[in-house]
Structure formats: C-alpha cells, structure tokens
Amino acid sequence: MDRWVALVGARGLTSSAACVVDCGTAVTVDALSADGEFLGGAVFPGLRLLRDSLVQGTAGIPATEGDATDCLARSTADGVAAGTLFGLAGAVERLIDEYRRTLGETTRVFLTGGDAPALAARLRAAHTPVPDLVLKGLARIADTL
C-alpha cells in the first residue's frame, strides 16, 4: 500500500514521468509514466535487512554498527556498513538508469523513507528528497473523498 500511496504523492509533485525510491525495511523503486500510469518496479532488502542477513548467514561477522563513509573499509564492521550502503546505492542507480532509458531522461526521481538520507549521500543520480511523500499521497487521496 505504501508504494501506491507514494506514487500518488509523486504525481502531486510532477506531471512528468517519475521514479519513486522508498528506502525503508525494504527498498522499492517504482516507475510512473508521464500519463500517470504505474509501470511496475523492483523490491529488495533495505539496509538493515542486508546487514542483518550478513550477520546471520555468515560465520564470524559480528552484529556491530560500522562506518559507511568510505568503501575502502579496514574493519569487518565498516566493510559490512560500506558494502551494503554502496551496493544499495549502485542497485538503485542501475534501476534509475533503466527507468530513464524507458521513460526519458527527464524522469523525476523522488527519494523517501527512513534510510533515504544515507542513500542520498551516495547517489550520483539527480533526485529530490521528499521525507513525507507517503503523507503527501494520503493527503491527495483524502482530498478526493
């Protein structure tokens, strides 16, 4: 439901094609045509799930917070933090590139969700942070009732 409501919020911010990246427990990257049609999207684990899966599925990786500021990490904790953040940013950028190939280079990218600030710091693709995008979508829906 959050995916749909975030797209409604994005539509209220632009009449052009849009890509909504919602960075929460899961990361969703959804495409909206300039005509307002939902075209689909991708869903994959968010930062916490990625990090937790490494701790749970790999022997010897402790459940400690690391520093993700540099991808040349010198400790395991920093390597997990950097690897998951830089990897997530790379996956999101790949999807944005694919969507822009399909929808056009003027596709607007909106970034929302709890981990959006961490991801925004690593994205090269132009984007607009909208921390309350789901609430904006709910307000648009409420206005139609």
Active-site option among 2, 67, 97, 132: 2
2 is catalytic: yes
Strand pairing partners for 43? 28
* Beta-carbon contacts of residue 132 (< 8 Å; ≥ 6 apart): 112
Burial zone of 21 (CB within 10 Å; 0-12 exposed, 13-18 middle, 19+ buried): buried
Distance CA 63, CA 51 (A): 8
Active site (catalytic) residues: 2
